[in-house]
Amino acid sequence: MKRVARDNEASARRVTRRALLLSGGMAAMFVALGARMRYLGIEQADQFRLLAEENRISIRLLPPIRGVIHDRHGKVLAENEQNYRVVMTREDAGDVEAVLNRLSHVIPLTRSDLDDALEALKKNSSFVPITVKDRLNWEEFSRVALNAPALPGVTPETGMSRVYPRDADFAHVLGYVGPVSEKVLEGVENPDPVLQIPKFQIGKVGVERWLEDTLRGTAGTKRIEVNHIGRVMRELDRIEGQAGSDVHLTIDAGVQNFIQARLGEESASCIVMDVTNGDIIAAVSSPSFDPNLFVRGISNTDFRYLMDHDHRPLANKAVQGAYPPGSTFKMVTALAALEEGVITPETTVRCPGHFESGGRRFHCWRRGGHGAVDLERSLSESCDVYYYEVALKVGIDKIAEMGRRLGLGIRHDLPMSAITEGNMPDKGWKMERHQAEWRIGDTINASIGQGYVLSSPLQLAVMTARLASGRAVKPRLVRAIDGREIPVEPAEPLGLSTSNLTAVLHGMDAVMNEAGGTARSSRIVADGLRMAGKSGTSQVRNISAAERASGVMSNDQLPWNRRDHALFVGYAPYDNPRYAVSVVVEHGGGGSTAAAPIARDALLRALYGAVPPLDAYPADQRGRMDSLLSSLLLRDDDGRYPGPSET
């Protein structure tokens, strides 16, 4: 009995211990469970609330930073500035019209802004963010950020926008950027995804367009966490894109600005070109415009003004304009005849003031004639009759061949918009274009750069550079990309007789420096900078026999748009050519009076690297030139205009 009692007692003790252990384990488990619940419910509440509210990950493209454009010395011509904007994603917004309406009470939005945003939201995929408004100020940007909870799908962002610090000086060279159009996307088989970002900007004209692939860069991406109402909760990670390449042009910003100021409000253009390597030092078209207006969204008023202006500020006359070259073409006719051996520099032609052919009278600009004229005098005094006779001896086909050899009638390859090919006609061209035979009168007109002959200021500058160097110099506009110089291939010789070329250049020298030279008043007197050139006048109206009999009306008696075009080509120094220049002043009258002085000033600015000193001008002109040069509003090295006190 005693043993049984002892066994029962031991068994009870074991049960008690087990109960205690089990109870302790259960208590510990409940404590741990409570602690975990507290951790999940309190400490991790925000994290799980995000998940509970249907958070998800969204991947968005990051527009690349566009490459910067510099001049040949590193001065900035096109760069990027910070831009505050508001974007909206349709799939996160819900009722987009209601959200846009609320947004319009936060920042000013026009009816046009709202309509554009709605159209973009409908056109694009629901996950693609579209730009509702950009160029916000800091206060507007902050208001959007503060009201973000009430604006589902709306996100304030900072980005970069294009800006042109030298505005009008480079409008025609650089062009401008603008939003990608449907037409652009339709014309690309596999468009870069970044092009589909609404209001993403690409080059529209000029260097910005033709070097688009170089300047654009590659898009990056960012992963963001958004909640069920489309509010961005946080950025998870970011992969930066590759910025576009920086580009250095051959143009000198100082020379460009000087010429732009020198042309003033004339409807004119000027090209300055380095004879040694083809670098375009300046390419100016006047009047100009501010390309920043197009980047920011030009108003209808401003656009209509530019479109309706009779001086055509939107046209790049330097490369798009095609003009009869007038007497600047006479070197082509002379060289063709010399190379064919039908004349020598000593050959003379008698000029009575007109030339008879086929019962028609072709007049010289000097009514009384020039008398006996040789090559040098025919150029220096610009005798037309000399070239009428010479052209009939050599023929139009040889003249056209020489013109093309000198760069006329050719579309030169530069990253600029609408570069004209001009026209260097021959017998085959007329038959193909007009289904008509070439006539003697066509050759006579072509001999002095009239009739069917058309040339741009760029082509005339190339022609002059080739005459000055004796080589087939090719124009170029891009000097380096990302700091890597683009090599220049040595220009091939033109294959012209040295003596023939020298004879023509002597004539161009006489134009500027001999008594009777048509442009002698625009000569350079500084030592070592002697200038050679040729003036030209391009007739834009027919002169009737009655008017010629009674006396041809002078240009200043005519309406502006009926006056002759004024042209000039030249180079300096004469003994060691460095720069060539061409100038066209639309309806400017005489080339020697309207275009030659501008060409001289442009050459001097390029040669000196600064505003020309007065002692480079003839003594009797220095007072006038001092007044003219002092009146020019020029930029400083930083591209800024002087303040009132400095002016």
Q: Is 327 a catalytic residue?
A: yes
**Can you tell me the distance from the alpha carbon of 241 to that of 243, in angstroms, rounded to the nearest whole number?**
6
Give DSSP secondary structure letters for 603-630: HHHHHHSSSPPGGGS-GGGHHHHHHHHH
Query: Quick check: 121 and 88 in contact, CB under 8 A?
Result: yes
**Can you tell me the distance from the alpha carbon of 603 to that of 469, in angstroms, rounded to the nearest whole number?**
16
**Which strand (E) or helix (H) includes residue 155?**
strand 154-163
Output the six-digit token pair for 410.
Answer: 């050719």
Query: Quick check: 373 and 383 in contact, CB under 8 A?
Result: yes
Find all residues with CB under 8 Å of 461, minimum gap 6, and list them. Answer: 271, 272, 273, 475, 569, 580, 581, 582
Helix (H, G, I), strand (E, B) or coil at 350: strand
Closest C-alpha among 632, 584, 590 to residue 611: 632
- Cα 623 versus chain centre, distance: 36
The C-alpha angle 230, 233, 236, rounded to 5 degrees, equals 115
Give me the catalytic one of 327, 380, 455, 456. Answer: 327
**Can you tell me the distance from the alpha carbon of 379 to that of 81, in angstroms, rounded to the nearest whole number?**
53
CA distances from 76 to 72, 174, 216, 355, 547 (A): 10, 12, 17, 55, 54
**Can you tell me the distance from the alpha carbon of 157 to that of 155, in angstroms, rounded to the nearest whole number?**
6
The C-alpha angle 234, 238, 241, rounded to 5 degrees, equals 145
Helix (H, G, I), strand (E, B) or coil at 307: helix
Q: Where are the alpha helices (DSSP H) in 129-168?
A: 138-146
**Can you tell me the distance from the alpha carbon of 317 to that of 285, in angstroms, rounded to the nearest whole number?**
5
- Cα 317 versus chain centre, distance: 12
| Residues with active-site annotation | 327
